A and B are shown apart, each in its own frame.
Chain A
C-alpha cells in the first residue's frame, strides 16, 4: 500500500525559463502589432502599378477611405450610407485638429490632412469621382491613391 506523499517528494518545475520565453514573445508581438490595419478593408483588390512605392505618412493626419467596386464606402469595417455627410464630419474634425497648430485656420481653408483612397481595381470612375469631389468640397487637397506593386500583389 502506498504511503502518503510527503511534501519533499513534490516535483516543482522551474517556470522561470518558460516565463522568460513568453515575455519575449509578448515583446515581439507588441513591437510588430499595427492597429492601422483595422482601417484597411482587406477584401479590396487594389490596382497594380509597377512604379508605386510606399510613402512615409507619419505625422500626417490621415483619413482612410475604402471604396468597393459598387461604390460603397467602408471605414473601420462599417458601411457609410451618407458619404458627403461623413466626409463633411471628418473635415470638421480635421479642422479642429489642425487649429491646435494653426489657430487662424477657418472653415473653407485647405486642410492639412491627407485622404488615403483605397479603391478596388474594378471601381468605375464615377464612384471614385463622387468621393474625391466630396473631399475637395470640404477642403481636402492632399490625396494618396493606394496601389500594389507588382512584386507585392496578393
Chain B
C-alpha cells in the first residue's frame, strides 16, 4: 500500500550553482592558452641512409686482366660519389661529381640528370663526401638537388650516405 504522498512544493526548482563550474572552466582555459604554441610548418627531406660502404660491389666485377672479353672491369659500381668542399667560413667552394668539377648547383642538377638517368650506369645511391667545416645549409642545398633526381628505373633517388673528408 503506497505511503502518504508528499505534496510537491511550488518553489521546488533546483538551481545549479554555475559559478564553481565556471571557475574550473576558466582554469582549464587559462592552462590551454598558456601552453598553446602553434607548431611551425617545417619541410622534410626523407632519406634512407645506410652506413657508408665501399663504392664498388664486386659481385659482377672481375679483376683487371682476368678476362680479355670484359671491357668494363668495374661493372657493379652502384654508388655515385659527389664531393663538396667548404671554405673556412663553411661556404661551399668546390663541388664535384666523380672526378669532374661542376660549377654550381644548376650544373650539378644537369650532371646528375644525365648520369643517374642513364640506364647503362646502374647507379642507385649517392655517396656525398663532405669537408668537416661545411655548413649544414650548404649541404642541404646539395641534398635537395640529389633528392630531386630520378633513377633510370623511374623511382626517386632516396639512398644517400655521407662521408667526412679528412682534415678541417
Contacts and interface: CB of A to CB of B under 8 A. Distances in A.
Interface string B129-168: 0111111110111011000100000000000001010001
A55 B158 CA distance: 14
Interface string A54-78: 1101000000000000000000000
B98 interface: no
Contacts, number: 155
Contact of B32 (A30, A46, A121, A154): A30
A123 to B, nearest CB: 4
A104 to B, nearest CB: 21
Contacts of B134: 124-125
A108 to B, nearest CB: 12
A125 B164 contact: yes
Interface in A96-154: 114, 116, 118-126, 128-129, 132-133, 136-137, 141-149, 152, 154
A10 interface: no
A106 B72 CA distance: 40
A126 B164 contact: yes
Size class of the B contact interface (CB-based, 8 Å): 35 or more
A121 B140 CA distance: 9
Contacts of B21: 19
23 contacts: A19-B18, A22-B26, A23-B25, A29-B33, A47-B137, A48-B137, A50-B144, A52-B42, A116-B44, A124-B132, A125-B86, A125-B130, A125-B139, A126-B164, A126-B168, A141-B48, A142-B48, A143-B46, A144-B44, A144-B47, A145-B47, A148-B42, A149-B43
Q: List the 8 closest A-B pairs by CB distance, nearest first.
A: A52-B43, A29-B32, A47-B137, A121-B137, A126-B132, A15-B18, A55-B44, A22-B25
